[in-house]
Amino acid sequence: MSSLFDSSALIAALDSRHPHHAWALERLVEAGRSDEMPVVAGHSIAETYAGLTGMPAGRRASPAAAERALLECLGKGWRIAALAPEDYLDVVRRCARTSIAGGTVYDAVIAAAGRRAHVRRVVTLNTKDFRRVAPDPEIDAP
C-alpha cells in the first residue's frame, strides 16, 4: 500500500524525543519494506526541515543535521509528489467551496499531491485536518 507521509509524521520519526517517535519510526520502517515506494509531498520536505530547525532550544536541529536526516530518510527510494501550477488554484477552490480556511490549506496542498501520486494511506499526526481535506485515503495516526 503506497503511503504519503505528512511532515508531522516525518518530524516525529526524525526527532527521537518526540512523544510519537516510536510510532512514526515504525511507520517509516514499514514503508521501507513495502513493495511500493513511500511518498512525500514536496511541500512536506520544506515543512519537515522548518519543523526540525525551528524547534525550541534543546531540541532544535542544526540546518546541517536537518538536511542529513532528510537526505538519509528520503534518499532511500521515496517518491516526491508535486503539484502542477494549476493544481494550486484547484486546491484554493476546493477549500473555498468547503469553507476550509487558514493553515489547513497547506494540508490540502499535501493531500492534493497525494491524490496525484495515487496514495492509499496518509501517515500523519494531524488526523482532524486530513480527514477534512483528504476523505478518501485511509488515515494512519496514533
3-state secondary structure 12-58: HHHCCCCCCHHHHHHHHHHHHHCCCCCEEEHHHHHHHHHHHHCCCCC
Supply the DSSP symbol for 8: H
pLDDT confidence tier of residue 1, bands split at 50, 70 and 90: low
pLDDT digits (tens, 9 = 90+) for 20-63: 999 999 998 888 787 778 999 999 999 999 999 998 888 899 99
44 to 35, 41, 57: CA distances (angstroms): 22, 5, 22
Q: Structural domain boundaries of the chain?
A: 3-140
pLDDT confidence tier of residue 67, bands split at 50, 70 and 90: very high
Q: Measure the CA–CA gap between 88 and 91, rounded to whole angstroms.
A: 5
Give first-to-last CA distance, the chain, whole Å: 18
> The C-alpha cell of 62 is what?
542544526
pLDDT digits (tens, 9 = 90+) for 113-129: 999 999 989 999 999 98
Percent share of the chain, pLDDT over 90: 70
**Is-contact 93 99, C-beta < 8 A?**
no
Cα 49 off chain centre by: 11
Q: Taking CA 85 as the corner, what is the angle to CA 83 and CA 86, rounded to the nearest 5 degrees?
A: 100
Beta 79-81 vs 121-123: how paired, if at all? unpaired
Report pLDDT for 37: 84
> The C-alpha cell of 95 is what?
477549500
pTM of structure = 0.91
In which element (H, E) is residue 67 found? Answer: helix 63-74
Q: What is the CATH number of domain 3-140?
A: 3.40.50.1010
Identity at 9, one-letter amino acid code: A
Q: Measure the CA–CA gap between 93 and 28, rounded to whole angstroms.
A: 33
